[in-house]
Amino acid sequence: MNDESRTVAVLGAGTMGSGIAVVTARAGHRTLLYDVSEANLRRGVATVHGFFDESVRRGKLGDDAARAAKAALTGTTDLADLAACDVVIEAVFEDLALKKDTFARLDEIVPERTLFHTNTSTLSVTAIASGSRRPERVVGTHYCNPAPLMTLVEVADGRHTAGWAHEATIGFLGSLGKTSVVTKDRPGFIVNRFLIPWENSCIRALESGLASKEAIDAAVPGALGHPMGPFRLLDIVGMDIHQQVATRLYEQLRDERFFPPPMVERMVAAGDLGRKTGRGFYEYDDTRLFGS
């Protein structure tokens, strides 16, 4: 696989999928954003376009570049439209059976040369790859959230991932301007092994009254050099997603640090999921996932 523009499919038009679609379209690749729901797809495409509009407003992207990136993006609810894809990036719900079935269906649609990437960080890449007749082309690529703003991608090979698929994946991620770090196919990879317990500890600190959310969010970037505080980040990720990831990692690792604190359950039950619902730890008039 060379460095020319490719046809890339992103499966799932949620927070992560739409963020990855921003990255691939911005890099000049023809991008197909797929979702089974027409409503979700419309929201995903609007999210991508909104990011480019905001980038122009902030002077981070020129008008011509924004128009080209928007033109590179197409939405679809028909899996058959992915027949000419060079790379498929799966970012659907974290359910093993769903991911395996998705790759099995794609086996009948895409060419043998197509790379299959899974954005999981809690499920086994090897187990997901077993859904495909060609597990050697399946690679784990976990984009750090928010994908349009963070440069790091974790790369994890499954048991049967071929060397050519690994190398092609590293090259593709380089075309996106991403930095790759290689990790083993283990629950949480590197980032979520550290991030989920840390986020849970920040939530527990808030619950205990140690400091306000504003104080914690100011202390972390100010003293630790993080690009944003934990609660701003959680509002972008979504409390429902945090709960799912934390719970799944706890089930596999049985480490109490991964178990989501009670505040997480209360916020999810109340529908206070973060930016996408207009309310999380903070309130938002602008519900664009990658807004200011």
Which member of 154, 175, 180, 199 is catalytic?
154
Give the residues across from 140 on adjacent strands.
118, 156
**d(C-alpha 105, C-alpha 123), whole Å:** 19
Assess contact for 185 and 124: CB atoms under 8 A: yes
| Residue 154 is among the residues annotated as catalytic for this protein | yes
Give the gyration radius of the chain's Cα atoms.
19
| Residue 192 is among the residues annotated as catalytic for this protein | yes
At residue 200, the 3 state secondary structure works out as helix
CB count within 10 Å of CB 1 equals: 16
**d(C-alpha 116, C-alpha 138), whole Å:** 5
Which member of 90, 117, 124, 142 is catalytic?
142
Q: Report the half-sphere exposure of 7 (CA within 13 A, side-chain side).
A: 12
Which member of 121, 124, 180, 200 is catalytic?
121
Which member of 124, 145, 175, 192 is catalytic?
192
Q: Report the half-sphere exposure of 121 (CA within 13 A, side-chain side).
A: 26
| Residue 18 is among the residues annotated as catalytic for this protein | no
Which residue carries 């690529």 as its tokens? 141
| Residue 29 is among the residues annotated as catalytic for this protein | no
Across the beta sheet with 7-11, the strand order is: 73-76, 30-34, 7-11, 87-90, 115-118, 138-143, 152-157, 179-183
Residues catalogued as catalytic: 121, 142, 154, 192
